Amino acid sequence: MPDSLSIKDNRTGKSYEIPIQDDAIRAMDLRQIKTSDSDFGLLSYDPAFMNTASCRSSITYIDGDRGILRYRGYPIEELAEKCNYLEVAYLLVHGELPSKNQYEEWKHNVTYHTMVHENVKKFLEEFRYDAHPMGMLVSAVAALSTFYPDAKHFSDENSRRLQIHRLIGKTPTIAAFAYRHSMGMAYVYPDNDLDYAENFLTMMYKPPASSTFEANPVLAKALDVLFVLHADHEQNASTSAMRSVGSTHADPYSCAAAAAAALYGPLHGGANEEVLRMLEEIGSKDKVPEIIRQVKDKKRLLMGFGHRVYKNYDPRAQIIKRIADQVFEVTGRNKLLDIALELEKVALSDDYFISKHLYPNVDFYSGLIYQAMGFPTDIFPVLFAIPRMSGWLAQWQEMLLDPEQKISRPRQIYTGYPERHIPAQT
């Protein structure tokens, strides 16, 4: 049997053979289905892109029914156990895990670009004392485009590579500066002798007067694993923003700022912050039944639950839950954990949640770990953006090199007025 659809247009009686490739049809093949020569042809209508593949990609594979997540073919469980974040960032961007020499060169190049221009510091200092750090990050990443006009040469591989090093290197620095700004503390510059997560924790927490601060190695390792888990996730909303803005040939800093802005939303990367606020609002295990009732009455969402793709469980959530135990051994048990565990237990046994495939996602437990590690709640989405930068950049580069891609410009179904005219002046 041929890999095709046989479509009969009952409006005209005409039949069409639409080829099927990779379990998909090309939406453009529908345009031949017309009622007359002047007819535009059929569109596919797919609000929120529930069933639309926007690209071909070899970066990340997700099987939502079986809870599978792989970066470049490697299972997330193996990467979380055997690789550090910079190795995974290399894998996402280059397609293979780095050799020892490749890793050393990559680490040097990223580390070499952790500093930001002093004017970026001044730019951040102008924000209100209570500015949300994600708003500061989005703004500062966009501002970087004004410091590196050479980034417009995206078709030059060396230029792309330099911007990728700069963005992966500078994002933690900007994030830490935004935190220090919110605390009214002097900024701590990167220490390039430290590993990626360790350097970030040091810029965050090193007391200004201290010269001997050392990030807790258990917490640094836990954060590095969390960075691995958050590095990419195929065509999520923020990655789609990165690709869409990149398709106009905007510079990668402007693309990354758009992606970070998309991630900021509470339905996406902002969910980890909302989970903590929800758990703090619940306050105790005995309030859980009331929250469940409100969710079932559709008065609120259960933040940290549900996913567009995962319909049984988010494999990242399971790994994060294991990391939580290691972190709490160092920091002491987070009292909100008991509420989270009770929420999960009740939800997973309730048919309302089971029937809607609502399970804990990556954001449900990560916030508990971040809070236990001393991060303020509003910086949680920033902790998502830091590692996702490498995924965004890998996807951006893949889009630019894909001969099938061009400027992203969806169509619409017009539902407005037919032509009408401004009434003559009376």
Contact residues: ligand SDX, CB under 6 A: 233, 236, 267-269, 271, 295, 301-309, 356, 358, 361-363
Q: In Å, how far are 6, 20, 33 from 9, measured between CA atoms?
A: 10, 18, 7
Least distance in angstroms from the C-beta of 9 to ligand SDX: 31
The pair of structure tokens assigned to 244 is: 């869409």
Measured distance CA(36)–CA(27) in Å, rounded: 19
Distance from C-alpha of 210 to C-alpha of 60, rounded to nearest angstrom: 42
In the complex with ligand SDX, which residue's Cβ is closer, 219 or 358?
Answer: 358
Q: Cα–Cα distance between 18 and 15 in angstroms, integer? A: 10
Q: Which among 94, 117, 153, 268 is annotated as catalytic?
A: 268
Token code pair at residue 410 = 């969806």
Which helix (H) or strand (E) element contains residue 264?
Answer: none
**Count of CA atoms in the C-beta half-sphere (13 A) of 208:** 8
- 307 catalytic? Reply is yes
Catalytic residue among 113, 307, 314, 378: 307
User: Is 94 marked active-site?
Assistant: no
Nearer to ligand SDX, 198 or 363 (CB): 363
Residue nearest to ligand SDX (CB): 306
Closest distance to ligand SDX from the beta carbon of 271 (Å):
3
Two structure tokens written together for 173 = 């620095």
Residue 232 annotated in active site? no
Q: Phi first, then psi: give them for residue 70, nearest 5 degrees.
A: -135, 135
**What are φ and ψ of residue 24, in 5° steps?**
-145, 160
Min CB(14)–ligand SDX separation in Å: 35
In the bound state with ligand SDX, the residue whose beta carbon lies nearer, of 171 and 202, is 171
Q: What distances in angstroms separate CA 234 from CA 61, 201, 258, 309, one per listed residue?
A: 7, 28, 17, 10
Closest distance of CB 385 from ligand SDX, Å: 11
**Annotated active-site residue in 29, 224, 251, 363:** 363
> Which CB sits closer to ligand SDX, 154 or 364?
364
| Contact residues for 123 (Cβ-Cβ < 8 A; gap 6+) | 139, 140, 143
Which CB, 179 or 353, lies closer to ligand SDX? 353
Catalytic residues: 268, 307, 363
